[in-house]
Amino acid sequence: MRLQGKVAVITGGAAGIGKSTAQIFIREGARVALCDISQESGSAVAKSLGENALFDRVDVTSRTDVQLWIESVISRFGRVDILVNNAGITRDAQFVKVKDRELVRQMNETDFDQVISVNLKGVFNCGQAVAPYMIRQGGGVILNASSVVGLYGNFGQSNYVASKAGVIGLTKVWARELGRHHIRVNAVAPGFIMTEMVAKMPEEVLESMRARTPLGRLGTPEEIAQTYLWLASDEASYLNGAVISVDGGLVLGT
């Protein structure tokens, strides 16, 4: 019961890593408020978790949505001890694709803006909404979802890599600014994880992922959630501003 008495808010909690994190946090004694863009899936997850879980449909790109959500959590649970900024999307495409030195296609502006808005601005919105409450109550933990590609780059993911590298930057700034208020801020950088979305990929793509991972397999959402649990607990009480890679030793190529 490492999170006994704690209140955690988790974005993107309707599936994958967010769902697994909510399950583990509940098991470890926390009360959990989930949000996601998917009303049906999020409500089902919260119901399965029991009376200590709540769900709200929230668009993390909207500052109004986020602020109202956090205020609602405070009114129902009284505090926020842990924020897990997990919500994220992908819109993959090459920066520029050429043939015979002529432009064939390129990543479009809309796809770039959407990924930055959800993956980076969403983290900013949620962090800024919870920080004042954490300061007033004397501390807290903010955990941000980056990615191994935010550290090393990846072919065809200019928007996603930029967003996840930006999350690392935010993490380090917030660790400096909020540490004096006893708020620890850390990031997790997962490698290839077998979420529901990834499981639907063609087998040849999955095999390529395994081949680039020295452990020879994809990670599970539970393995990332266990990392969040440790970072949220008092066992990680002196860890601040860190980026923890959970990637099976992944080596990214082109």
* Residues known to be catalytic: 160
Residue 75, both tokens: 């009114």
* Phi and psi at residue 220, to the nearest 5°: -110, 155
* Dihedral angle sign, alpha carbons of residues 37, 43, 44, 46: positive
Q: Could you give the CA distance from residue 221 to residue 226 in angstroms, rounded to a whole number?
A: 9
* Dihedral angle sign, alpha carbons of residues 196, 197, 202, 208: negative
The string of DSSP letters for the chain reads -TTTT-EEEEESTTSHHHHHHHHHHHHTT-EEEEEES-HHHHHHHHHHH-TTEEEEE--TT-HHHHHHHHHHHHHHHS---EEEE-------B-SEEEETTEEEEE--HHHHHHHHIIIIIHHHHHHHHHHHHHHHHT-EEEEEE--HHHHH--TTBHHHHHHHHHHHHHHHHHHHHHGGGTEEEEEEEE-SB--HHHHTS-HHHHHHHHHTSTTSS-B-HHHHHHHHHHHHSGGGTT--S-EEEESTT-----
